């Protein structure tokens, strides 16, 4: 008779280029032999989550992070509902994992989006994966929204940037939530830094309460550059690894 264990789910938050830290988190869990049973992701968290749920492990998952470039996923468009399109992101994901449906993934997975008309959270769990990820990453006002099931959908970060409740709905008994940001503890200088700090605070409060996770991993990144700079992707992976290594006792305690 086998020994039952608690199901572990990851709630992966949004945050642009910072999202490469999610790969570092997953790498440590893999190395430590801690199974991941389900994933919910918002924005870039939906991208990394989809890749893992599709079977990308180890070096291939790291390669996806280290090869990430904006030019590979962004296409300029005539200003209408946005200045750029993420249709290339959709193609990138299809090339990376295949044109999979949610039913074809190796584990329960959900991508969090928002309805542009109502602001309602829309959790995608069926149909094709690539358009769902594209919708979850489509920052309103900058990236064109995506039509899915007759609704115009945008980046889920505006309604739930840390989808803890969503991954619990997938069956997780223990939730490890990865938030892409941690307050610097110092006052910002100048109007631009103040504005970016305010955006960071809003994103932190747009998600489920971190205290509702069994383990919360706030990745210590801050500032506009950390949203945009893909040149720092190795640093972000390393920060994800370091933060997870420090939290291993808490993760094991939650699983026990």
Give catalytic residues, as residue numbers: 43, 155
Distance CA 188, CA 194 (A): 6
What string of H, E and C letters represents the secondary structure of the chain? CCCCCCCEEEEECCCHHHHHHHHHHHHHHHHCCCCCCEEEEECHHHHHHHHHHCCCCHHHHHHHHHCCCHHHCCEECCCCCCCEECHHHHHHHHHHHCCCEHHHCCCCEEEEEEECCCCCEEEECCCEHHHHHHHHHCCCCCECCEEECCEEEEEHHHCCCCCHHHHHHCCCCEEEEEECCCCCCCCCCHHHHHHHHHHHHHHHHCCCCHHHCCEEEECCCCCHHHHHCHHHHHHHHHHHHHHHHHHHHHHHHHHC
């Amino acid at each position: 008779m086998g020994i039952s264990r608690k199901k572990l789910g990851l709630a992966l938050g949004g945050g642009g280029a910072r999202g490469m830290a999610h790969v570092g988190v997953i790498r440590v869990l893999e190395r430590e032999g801690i199974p991941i049973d389900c994933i919910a992701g918002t924005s870039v968290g939906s991208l990394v989550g989809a890749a893992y749920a599709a079977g990308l492990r180890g070096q291939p998952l790291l390669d996806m992070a280290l090869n990430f470039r904006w030019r590979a996923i962004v296409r300029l468009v005539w200003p209408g509902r946005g200045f750029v399109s993420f249709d290339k992101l959709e193609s990138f994901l299809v090339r990376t994992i295949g044109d999979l449906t949610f039913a074809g993934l190796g584990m329960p997975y959900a991508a969090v989006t928002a309805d542009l008309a109502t602001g309602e959270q829309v959790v995608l769990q069926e149909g094709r994966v690539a358009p769902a990820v594209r919708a979850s990453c489509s920052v309103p006002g900058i990236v064109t929204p995506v039509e899915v099931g007759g609704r115009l959908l945008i980046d889920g970060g505006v309604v739930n940037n840390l989808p803890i409740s969503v991954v619990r709905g997938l069956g997780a008994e223990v939730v490890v939530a990865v938030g892409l940001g941690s307050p610097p503890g110092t006052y910002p200088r100048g109007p631009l830094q103040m504005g970016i700090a305010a955006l960071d605070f809003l994103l932190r409060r747009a998600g489920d309460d971190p205290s509702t996770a069994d383990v919360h991993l706030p990745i210590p990144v801050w500032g506009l550059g950390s949203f945009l700079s893909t040149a720092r992707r190795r640093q972000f992976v390393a920060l994800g690894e370091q933060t997870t290594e420090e939290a291993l006792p808490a993760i094991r305690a939650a699983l026990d």
